[in-house]
Structure 1
């Protein structure tokens, strides 16, 4: 197994660790970080760091695979799967914690399943659905929104700006738009496949 695939598998392995920090009762931990009226439990901070590390490996494994000519079928399968598992797991956890509205999580996760289905249909016809500009923007905005929720809107909380809510709404809207964009640009594949 090559290095990019190992990085991808490491990303998948970080998901349950991150979820443990988010969802297990860590009341035995020391008092949360407090700065005036701002409060951040240590377990959320640790989960945020794990999420940032896991999300950043997405670009690293792809870059290494392309640069060193190590693109494999396993990598093509695992990389998008790892991304979707990471986003779905964190969003479901945030919904359970009351930090994210369930309808936003449903929009984001549904789009991921829909685009994955489109890619599978394309593969059956020997075509490849490449990542789009809006798909990349969607990923960045989702990561920013998730981190903002994980760290309780720091530092915007001090200015009274609901950046976490704004970023979450932006993530939902851009996710929806990018999903529509994929289907509009690849509608010929659906007609050709007799779907």
Structure 2
């Protein structure tokens, strides 16, 4: 699990339960959200993004009450990253967010996933505990997507606000990526 706790064995955890169904629905919302952005229906994309965020909180709360499942522990971060990364790419394609920012966000995740795979191949599977800077980075990334969708949906521009938010994401993304690389280097 991302918090470093042990996952139940696959045989111990049913794949079909309410938290996993909610997570799967969030994953299925990804292509819909991308389609909405590409068709510039930003308000609908904004509300879908907000609903996805709420579903993440709900399935997390339910999973903590019922106990973690192997499928949920794997599916939840995939759904979260799929939504976040695709929103950055889609918003860059329609020129709501800078393309270089989408590249940076995607590159950070590729570096982290690649590093985890390399460590596994070297026989040193890492314990995946999110770092504080990574949590800050994720919160900032989510906030920027929500603000960008809302402003685009309202037909408003707030260039100074967006510039500050974009640079906050840049700094936290670079710091988070560097922290994970540093942590992996110490592990290896």
So what's the TM-score if we normalise by structure 1?
0.77
User: Any stretches of 5+ residues in structure 2 without a counterpart?
Assistant: 1-15
Structure number with larger C-alpha Rg: 1
1:14 aligns with 2:29: yes
Residue number in structure 2 paired with 1:3: 18
Assess if the C-alpha contact under 8 Å between 1:148 and 1:163 holds in 2. Answer: no
Cα RMSD after superposing both structures: 2.4
**Separation (CA, whole Å) in 1 of partners of 2:65 and 2:180:** 26
1:77 aligns with 2:92: no
Q: What are the superposed Cα offsets for residues 14-54 of structure 1, whole Å, 9 maximum, x if unpaired?
A: 111112222137xxxxxxxxxxxxxxxxx211100101111
Assess if the C-alpha contact under 8 Å between 1:111 and 1:179 holds in 2. Answer: yes
1:3 deviates by: 1.7
1:96 aligns with 2:97: no
User: Any stretches of 5+ residues in structure 1 without a counterpart?
Assistant: 26-42
Show structure 1 runs of 4+ deviating over 4 A: 121-124
**Separation (CA, whole Å) in 1 of partners of 2:98 and 2:171:** 14
1:188 deviates by: 2.5
How many residues align? The count is 170
1:82 deviates by: 1.2
So what's the TM-score if we normalise by structure 2?
0.79
